[in-house]
Amino acid sequence: MVEAFAVASGKGGTGKTTSTLALGMALSYEHDVTVVDADTGLANLLFHAGLVDVDVTLHDLLIDGANAAVADATYERFGMSVVPCGTNLADFEAADPERLRDVVATLAADADVLLLDSPAALGSKSAVLPIVLADRVVTVLKPTIPALSDALKVGEYARSYGTGSAGVLFNKVRDEAAVDRIADRTEEYFDGPTLATVPDSDAVRDARDAGEPLLAHAPDSPAAAAYREAAATLTVEGGDSAAVADRFSSAVVPDRP
């Protein structure tokens, strides 16, 4: 069984990548987890996962004519399978976003949980595809009006494509009581539970600087505990792997003439 989650926010700087890897690690205690940096235009997962020096990345799977295999771009790190994306702009421009479907289909065959670290803004096809492909969206939110406003937009995009909501993760929180006051409304608008309230933390920056996921770098930090709580709240409702893989691959657009 596999369930694909897009980790999305609508706004940059909310801590999506940190959240993706932290959730991934927390879920990996119970599930086979594959994490994909689907933010192909602004990739940064490689910095968080100590994969800066790898040769093959998602870009090599998305560029027409490149013959890398999915396995070549998949790295076993921190108990997860991690597919980083490169940061070369020319590679991004050469990439065919539609090929993400095949990649996701292949990865779905061997995973219980697929986490797609998704682009912040929804301004392009490559940015919206992770949300189209996912079963459900985990919305990472800073409790500010601009962040909520953009996340509401992501929520509507997801709903438009029949992608469900897995809930809301409040991140970089400095006043937990304040979040408590808006949680009910937010749960209603986002049609899902509050997965956790993650406190603002220096440990997150330190982990990024060390090139390690938060749960590996500072497992005892309150932020790490909050992510474990989020993972525990998230009930994985995977469908049959073969059926899911078929869903992704059979939706592949015919080759362009």
Single residue of 28, 186, 194, 221 touching other proteins by CB under 8 A: 186
Instruction: Find the radius of gyration of the CA atoms of the chain.
Output: 17
Site residues for other proteins, 102-131, by CB under 8 A, read 122, 124-125, 128
Contact between 238 and other proteins by CB under 8 A: the answer reads no
Binding of other proteins at residue 243 (CB under 8 A)? yes
Binding footprint of other proteins, residue count (CB under 8 A):
43
DSSP 72: G
Nearer of residues 132 and 232 to other proteins, judged by Cβ: 132
- Exposed / middle / buried, residue 8 (Cβ in 10 Å: 0-12, 13-18, 19+): buried
For residues 92 and 40, the answer to whether their CB atoms sit within 8 Å is yes
Name the residue with tokens 């992608």.
163
Cβ neighbors of 134 (< 8 A, separation 6 or more) are: 4, 5, 6, 114, 116, 158, 163
Span interacting with other proteins, options 13-21, 40-48, 103-111, 149-157, rule CB under 8 A:
149-157
- What lies within 8 Å, CB to CB, of 116 at 6+ separation is 4, 5, 6, 7, 36, 38, 104, 130, 133, 134
In angstroms, how far is CA 11 from the centroid of its own chain? Answer: 14
Of 89 and 145, CB closest to other proteins:
145
Q: What is the DSSP letter of 121?
A: S
Residue 66 structure tokens: 């490149």
Site map (CB under 8 A) of other proteins, residues 194-233, x = contact:
-----x----------------------x-----------
- Cβ proximity to other proteins: between 69 and 243 the closer is 243
CB contact at 8 A, 134 and 8: no
Beta carbon of residue 70, minimum distance to other proteins (angstroms, whole number): 20
Which listed residue (1, 109, 132, 210) binds other proteins by CB under 8 A? 132
Report the residue from 153, 193, 211, 219 that binds other proteins according to the rule CB under 8 A: 153
User: In the complex, what is the shortest distance from the CB of residue 240 to other proteins, in angstroms, rounded to a whole number?
Assistant: 8
Residue 242 makes contact with other proteins by CB under 8 A: no
Binding site for other proteins (CB under 8 A): 122, 124-125, 128, 132, 135, 143-145, 148-149, 152-153, 155-157, 159-162, 174-182, 185-186, 189, 199, 222, 239, 243-244, 246-247, 250-251, 253-254
